[in-house]
Chain A
Amino acid sequence: MKRADISRLVKDNIIIIALALPVILLTMTASGFMTVSNIKNIFIQISLYGIVAFAMTISIIGGEFDLSVSSLLGVVTILFTDIAKRVNVPVAILVCVSAGIVVGLINGFMVSKLKINAFVATLAMMLMLKGFALTYTNGRPINFPNPALNAFGNGDFLGMPNITLFFLGAFLITWYVLRNTKFGRNVYAAGGNLVVAKMVGINVDFYKTMLFVILGFATSVAGVLMAMRLSSGNTLFGGDLTMSVVAGVVIGGTSLSGGRGSAVKTFWGMLFIGVLFNGLQRLAVQANWQDVIKGSILIVVVSVDAILAQKIPLSQITTGRKRKEQISALPRDV
């Protein structure tokens, strides 16, 4: 193998190498890290956020971004517990999923039709949802201890936690849709170059809207599962959702500039986040320090990735591999 091939291999799989490091370190230092129950634990920890992460991957590839998911998750847990308590579970699920989709439609409408920047539009949505949740609950959590729901949320199927099955399901669906469907291909096209996508007659407004609808839907599913698991709804749930999910997507190697990325990358990225969080807990690092460490590691991983990308000769980059390189280097150099 030529040197360039090796370095490309390294670059493409940097996330796996980045993952191996903490895994080895933690196996040596934290007792009980490399056990079946802890690994299961890690998966449980990332499963719900992971569902949202895959939806976020699609939207970032499509060139958009959603800050409102963190508030939406809290709203969904509240709606679910409250309605399940007062009416019944099927209605609660229906309302929650519809709410997620409606929020997605509104975000999508603001971005595609009103041409509001996604950052601003979803920031506004985040605030509104947060305000709605606080008004609805007066800031108090709603509890609904229902044994059946709780058993489902915490249950296993064939040794796999139920929520992890949802996570894996979301992974497979996202992987397939991005790779093998017209929808997925058009998302890449719209995220890669919006003007070009328009010029081949792609309904870019529809695709932009769908990105947010998928996110709303995925978040509502995650929210319902979370409410079942915890038997309660709370405005505070999901406070760190956006940050964790975007970190996972970016660490995995999906480009924030759109047009490149994959579900597989996000799978590894979320696993990395899971291992990291788990490890920090196991090492009994103080909670406030944990955030500092998480932030620093995010920077390190992403910059190592960027540096490696620049070391690779241009000719070695084919599509599917990340990196927006330009041969015409003028704007970069001047």
Chain B
Amino acid sequence: MQEHILSMRGITKAFGSTVALDNVDLNVRAGEIHALLGENGAGKSTLMKILNGVYAADKGEILINGVPTVFRNIREAMAGGISFVFQELNLVLSLSTLENAFLGRLKSDSRGIIDWKSMTAEFNGFMKSIDFEMDPGRLVSELSIAEKQMVEIARALMLDSKIIVMDEPTATLSSEEIHKLFNIIRILKNKGITIIYISHRLEEIFQICDRLTVLRDGKNICTLDVAETTKPYLIEQMVGRSMDYEFPEREAHPIGEPVLDVKNLFTPGFLQGINFTLYRGEILGIAGLVGSGRSEIARAVFGADKIEKGDFWVDGKKVSIRSTMNAKALSIGLVPEDRKDEGSSIELSVMKNITITNLDKVSRGIVLNRRKEVREAKRMVQELGVKTPSIHHRLDQLSGGNQQKVVLAKWLYNDADILILDEPTRGIDVGAKYEIYLLIYEMVKRGKSVIMISSELPEIFALSDRIMVMYEGCLQTCVENHEGLKPEDIMGFALG
């Protein structure tokens, strides 16, 4: 038997009446990349948070190199040679990229004066080594979600730890960045560093991981060598039943008259004259790299960003969309890509997060009908399979994927005629994704129209009626999605 650098044994953890982990073991060998898999709410993040001391386990022990160890907080864990990329980004928006990358360990000289030069040098050196361009002086609040994720990753990787835990590092990245991240992961592996890797993108497991452990409902299901397994088998282990397809079969659905016309859309320093039309009952996919302007289209149409110029027609009438209020009044909805900062309010309960998009539906006049509100929220929670002890729990008590389901739920509940989904299935497990695809089909069959932005090409291919490809703020092409279309065709356009 090979030596285990990390052994978590019999870990049990309950939150109130929710048992998040039930007697879970995790054994990680030195120098391997070990995947931790499981559905949303299976307990992956919780297990890692027990490792780093954010939570204390109710039962169980942790051995590092055979020595029983308990970290009481992240500082101790970092000092003990373990660093973390959290699922929820932990960045201070008002500070610069550099300050965030060195948060908690700013370098200073003997007099306590910050040594910007050496930090900048180290940061730039690191970024260069992963072939990623980033201005250390930019405020994090100005970064795209993918860039924020890269800052978070850089922060953990620059620490020189022996064990690195990555909780869904690729959920917000596009293939380009993922490729770069994998390169650095391989370099780290060659240096003998151990990595625990959490992801819902199973292809990735086969690309970089050596072994894997599957959790389901807080229990150990199995630990396997990646080489000995297959994707369908893994899915079965994760969801507890076999799934023949990842995507529902495409059904023909009627496509009607234009519902949204966008003409000559320019945004300051970004979009360069975008024209497109969305039809009733259509799913329009938008592909492209992160930063190609996909989200900018979504935000402009929803009135969330200022536009330079551009005209919008909704249902054949010229309209002005200057604010999110205008857009909502026109029955346009947007599920934003940034769940934490724009999509959901952790101050509010699951129910209040859902119904806030359309309080009219659950009120008479100005007064809320609380019973109806509870009923509607329960219905949405059930439809999307949100795992939560109750609809009155605060959002930050849900697992990451379940929070994402709530963000989707709030806009599906709103039932807008035009729904824009920006990376809707980010962080959502295979089983739940399938259900969400069915809900999207359901919508368009009822005559709604959907614009779907996704970095996962298979998703775009499986669902879209037409596919638009963006490159550096320009619309490269817009094609019918048919049998013969190949991912390479799309990628060609996306790369310019």
Contact = CB atoms under 8 A, between A and B. Distances in A.
Contacts of B347: 188, 191-193, 258-260, 319, 324
Interface string A296-309: 00000000000000
Interface stretch (A34-42, A143-151, A160-168, A178-186): A178-186
Contacts of A320: 349, 392
B367 interface: yes
A128 interface: no
B343 A196 contact: yes
Interface string B82-121: 0010101010100000000001110000000000000000
A329 B15 contact: no
B392 A192 contact: no
B348 A188 contact: yes
A315 B105 CA distance: 30
Given A180-B368, A201-B357, A319-B392, A328 B86 contact: yes
Nearest to B351: A319
Contacts of A203: 325
Contacts of B18: 315
Contacts of A181: 363, 366-368
B396 to A, nearest CB: 6
B75 A333 contact: yes
A180 B344 CA distance: 21
Contacts of A327: 49, 54, 88, 396-397
Nearest to B396: A327
Contacts of B103: 330-331, 334
B104 A182 contact: no
A317 B359 CA distance: 25
Most buried by A among B14, B49, B346, B360: B346
A326 interface: yes
A315 B396 CA distance: 10
Contacts of B390: 318
A42 B21 CA distance: 53
B54 A188 contact: no
B45 to A, nearest CB: 9
Given A203-B325, A329-B73, A198 B16 contact: no
B343 A199 contact: yes
A313 interface: yes
A189 B18 CA distance: 27
Contacts of B368: 180-182, 185
A334 B74 contact: yes
A195 B396 CA distance: 17
A94 B349 CA distance: 41
B162 interface: no
A181 B360 CA distance: 10
B327 to A, nearest CB: 7
B228 interface: no
Contact of B363 (A182, A316, A324): A182
Interface in B99-146: 103-105
B256 to A, nearest CB: 25
A12 to B, nearest CB: 14
B334 A199 contact: yes
B220 interface: no
Nearest to A192: B347
B366 A315 contact: no
Given A199-B304, A318-B349, A318-B394, A328 B90 contact: yes
Nearest to A316: B16
Interface string B334-367: 1010000111111111001000110110010011
B46 to A, nearest CB: 9
A318 B397 CA distance: 9
A318 B352 CA distance: 12
Contact of B54 (A4, A189, A193, A329): A329
A91 B329 CA distance: 41
A315 B90 contact: no
B324 A200 contact: yes
Interface string B437-460: 000000000000000000000000
B58 to A, nearest CB: 11
A180 B369 CA distance: 8
Contacts of B394: 317-319
B86 A185 contact: no
B4 interface: no
A261 to B, nearest CB: 11
B280 interface: no
B74 A201 contact: no
A177 to B, nearest CB: 9
Given A180-B370, A182-B366, A183-B366, A198 B304 contact: yes
B294 interface: no
B433 interface: no
A4 B359 CA distance: 34
Given A180-B367, A192-B345, A200 B357 contact: yes
A182 B355 CA distance: 10
B366 A333 contact: no
A314 interface: yes
B410 A315 contact: no
B322 interface: no
Contacts of B360: 182
B16 A192 contact: no
B328 interface: yes
Given A200-B328, A319-B393, A328 B54 contact: yes
Which of A202, A258, A319, A329 lies at the interface centre, i.e. has the most chain B CB atoms within 10 A of its CB? A319
B8 to A, nearest CB: 19
Contacts of B14: 315
B156 to A, nearest CB: 10
B41 to A, nearest CB: 14
Given A182-B366, A324-B347, A331-B103, A199 B342 contact: yes
Chain B CB within 10 Å, residue with most, of A198, A203, A318, A330: A330
A51 B19 CA distance: 46
Given A180-B368, A324-B347, A195 B352 contact: no
B345 A259 contact: yes
Nearest to B339: A196
B88 A328 contact: yes
A106 B352 CA distance: 31
B359 A182 contact: yes
A258 B363 CA distance: 24
Of the listed residues A315, A318, A325, the one surrounded by the most CB atoms of chain B closer than 10 A to its CB is A315
Nearest to A189: B356
B325 to A, nearest CB: 5
Interface string B5-36: 00000000011101000000000000000000
21 contacts: A182-B366, A185-B368, A192-B348, A197-B345, A200-B357, A201-B327, A259-B345, A259-B347, A260-B347, A315-B16, A318-B393, A319-B352, A319-B392, A325-B396, A326-B346, A328-B86, A328-B88, A330-B74, A333-B73, A333-B104, A334-B105
Given A181-B368, A313-B15, 18 more contacts: A181-B366, A181-B367, A189-B345, A191-B347, A199-B336, A200-B324, A200-B410, A201-B325, A201-B327, A259-B347, A260-B347, A314-B15, A319-B393, A326-B396, A328-B86, A328-B88, A331-B90, A333-B74
Interface of A: 4, 180-183, 185-186, 188-189, 191-193, 195-203, 258-260, 313-320, 324-331, 333-334
Q: Which 4 A-B pairs have the closest CB atoms?
A: A334-B104, A201-B328, A192-B347, A315-B15
